[in-house]
Amino acid sequence: MSMELALQTYIAESRGLLQEMEDALLSLERSPSDQHLIDALFRAAHTIKGSAGLFGLDAIVDFTHVVENVLDRLREGKLSIGKPLIGIMLTCADHMASLIDSVADRDGVVETSQVEEGQRLLEQLQPYLDETALNESHSTHTELTEENRAGITCWKVCVQFGQDVLRNGMDPLSFIRYLGSIGQIVDIQVDAEQLPAFEQMDPESCYLSMKMEIAGIEDEKTIEDAFEFVRDDCKLSIEPLHTNLASPKELPGELAGLDASGPKSAPVQATISDEPAVSRTIDSDDPVADESAGNDPRRKTSANKPTRFIRVNAEKLDELINLVGELVIAGASGALLARQFGNTALQEASAAINNYIEHIREGALGLRMVEIGETFKRFQRVVRDVSQELGKDITLEIRGADTELDKTVVEQIGDPLTHLVRNAIDHGIEPEEVRRARGKPAQGVVMLNAYHDSGNIVIEVSDDGGGLNAEKIRKKALERGIIKPTDALSDREIYNLIFEAGFSTAESVTNLSGRGVGMDVVRRNIEALRGSVDLDSEEGVGTTVRVRLPLTLAIIDGFLVSVGESSYVVPLDAVLECMEISSEIKEAGSERSYFNLRGEVLPFMRLREQFGILGKPGRRENIVVVHSGEHKLGLVVDELLGEFQTVIKPLGKIFSNVKGISGSTILGSGDVALILDVPSLVALAIEGERHHESLHLSAERH
């Protein structure tokens, strides 16, 4: 592994560990005596600091070391956890994240503001440190003294670095320095047997092999983790040596500086006992190693440890999805040609190929599907910080955390959800005294929920607050000219006016809201993902904002229809049934826009009229019954062409505001078909019906 790749791995893993720290700290507020959470906190900080030492990231090592000392005292029961300490630790985790960001974005250059913030936080941590920790250096290993030498377990570590270690940007001595910072190097010997003759030496190759005895490290895994980034480029053997430490012994002069990061205490000689050692060997070239220890339960090797997860560059995954999309288009083209030629054998082969393509498509899309629970968990911190800022007692409830959707959608939905959650806390949840007066619990609840519905994912942000005042919203909308006095709007339509640009009912401007920005951005960002957002509220009970998004932005199952010479794709999950249009509806023409479906009256929309398609309809027309949430709609089309695997292509900017269209795709013939936006079409139909009713009522008054 190259140094650059190893550093990127460290950055990604550290961010994950910081998220684990944040989750553990927030959980400790509810369960302050949970020792498992405290241990997880310590391990995360220790890992971040230790790996940072391998790359010489001193700013991270220095700061995290102090945090680790506080967590160590907490782990040993010398400190009690409380909200003040949790608050400081959360801020420390934020600072550690900013230091890691500086490594990712600025090659480790720490800005002056970061240095000042770090100093301020270190001052806040001082009361939680004991006197020894305040005066110690940045070494974390235990000092060996006459009093604590007896009975200490040493480790015998044999490492032979691969010849490509230097070419990959790794410094072998940095691993030894790191071991000296977390433990104490008792003895070290360099093996020169691997060195070739001088004239045969390659200056870019590594021939270093050494044996070490190390004390002061608790477990074998800590040593193994030190060699994480060169595990494939070295042979490593670790043996526990149960020893009594004797008098100090100096290291060879040329290696005396290896322990430079730790205190200059004298190394000591280990006297090995007669107890047989159990070794652990990791050898990338020979997985079957150290067979003599094969039956020992403590022995583990990389050969019998199955790999459960691998890291894949997101760009490679996106490229795979794009290639699968092109494969789908090519498969559709082949199937069309097979039908045109009427070759039965070719059609069967084409059908088999398309079947495999469908399995490949489902597998490839599955790689990008992630659970939304990780995104939801991040809002625990948002709820905690914002509620404390406003002086409200609010808890977050999460449901449907195992609901999966496309990774790309998850990445882009974070900001809109943040706006909605902050709005629920600021505008939705009432102050404690108001809640008590209304007979509600003092603690407010914000709930995040996710579930699948008709090929979409629905995300709900709910609160049990005061709800919305429809009359107040209507008055504000009239003042701003958003609606007219003659507009007849339902309560739900009035509630959704809060998504208009610049609309706000806040009485005053605060750090969180009141400036009329945010909710319109929420709708714009969600619509950019081919989604929709609406709102339900009941005054005095609460509010629910419902976001509907497609499961994926890449490939969907569609149902192909035609109107005249134009082709359209209806998302298959939105299709309920198809039927031939009745003569009664056909004779009514444009006078009627609804039909009877087995006793249920449903509106219908003629796509020919909706999209201005020239020409007359054929003798036979069909209705495709679709649904969006609880609403149903009939789409009148000319022909039903059957199911179709649809590779979604984005529309150009010139078509981005066309209502009822969410994208395009390429047919097997090479023609372009437009993908229908069913929720948008349903909303248009409902809006048209209400407008028609409004005109009818107005005519009756006159």
CA distance 528 to 518: 15
> 10 Å Cβ neighbour count for 215?
23
Residue 572, classified by CB atoms within 10 Å of its CB into exposed (0-12), middle (13-18) or buried (19+), is: middle
CA distance 53 to 68: 14
> 10 Å Cβ neighbour count for 284?
14
CA distance 312 to 223: 26
> 22, 46, 449, 460: which one is catalytic?
46
Residue 68 among the catalytic residues: yes
Q: Is 159 helix (H, G, I), strand (E, B) or coil?
A: strand
CA distance 547 to 526: 8
Report in angstroms the alpha-carbon separations of 404 from 398, 590, 684. Answer: 14, 42, 29
Assess contact for 665 and 561: CB atoms under 8 A: no
Residue 242 among the catalytic residues: no
Q: Which residue has the tokens 């360099």?
A: 190
Q: How many CA atoms lie within 13 A of 395 on its CB side?
A: 8
Assign 3-state DSSP to the chain and report helix, strand, coil percentages, each to 5: 45, 25, 30
> 68, 430, 460, 621: which one is catalytic?
68
DSSP labels, 427-490: IISPPHHHHHHTT--SSEEEEEEEEEETTEEEEEEEE-S----HHHHHHHHHHTTSS-TT----
Residue 423 among the catalytic residues: yes
Assess contact for 157 and 214: CB atoms under 8 A: yes
Helix axes 407-423, 379-390, angle to 10 degrees: 10
> 69, 168, 423, 525: which one is catalytic?
423
* Token reading at 25: 């700290």
CA distance 279 to 277: 6
Which residue in 377, 372, 365, 375 sits closest to 414, CA to CA? 375
CA distance 673 to 649: 10
CA distance 452 to 270: 63
Q: How many CA atoms lie within 13 A of 256 on its CB side?
A: 9
> Which residues are 626's β-sheet partners?
575, 633
Q: What positions carry a catalytic annotation?
A: 46, 68, 423
